Structure 1
Amino acid sequence: IVTGCYAEAGKDNLRKRFPQIDLVLGNKEKLKIPRIITGPNENHEDTKSFIQTFHAHSRAFVKIEDGCDQFCSYCRVPYVRGAKIKSRAPDEVLKEVESLILNGFKEIVLVGVNLALYGRDLELPITLVDLLRDMQCFEETT
């Protein structure tokens, strides 16, 4: 299974170059993988769950934003991932960060396509600075 930005933009090229690939899915389709593999009758309630442990690593990555509406001349993101900004709700991000800290991660890296756009699409707009302030309540565990 191949997924990601290139898979979204170059499905046909990937299939031609690598005929052994069974499935090419774009970013929006990757959450369908469990259903595709096991069939529609299986229970897939928690496909949006997040990684809680990753042995031998002290750093965890938390995606908080996707999409970009800036249309820079050099960038394909708005065409491949979409021009609509999609920020994760702050409470959802905080819950994931707290879980990662409780599971021993010492460093949390917040990632997104354009973090400066984080939160402006939410019903109650928030900035990245606001989110970081909310994270100050977490204490390092030993």
Structure 2
Amino acid sequence: MYKFYMKNGTAYFYERGVEIDGTVYGIRTDSDILRIKRSVVNSKFAESEEDFDMNVEIAKIQHTGITFEPPTAEQLEQIQAKTFASMSELKQHVQSVMNGETMSQDEINAMLLLKIAEMEVAITNEQTTN
């Protein structure tokens, strides 16, 4: 499992995280755990009219530490070679690299040359039949 965040259009990976109530969060420092717990409490009581003590509610939340599997140096190089304007595009790119679905430039060039050759054959065949 891996978790990443976007900074200036580039993906950076968390080395560790926490799991709280079935949700996994990436963290960089231990102070992130408190920030996440505070956010969980705020979400829980967002629409509630009842009073609550933030410190008591945070203390109730249990978390489990997680160590994430980092990308290989090659994967990281591929991922960080591009910058993106949107998180959704970045997420798609990271997923394709991490799943081994990306193609090298040589593979892309070979596919393009094959398509061009197929189109040339189709055009030649069409011209000879007319």
Report the TM range for the smaller structure's normalisation.
Answer: under 0.3
Larger radius of gyration: 2
TM-score, structure 2 normalization = 0.23
Higher helix residue share? 2
TM-score, structure 1 normalization = 0.22
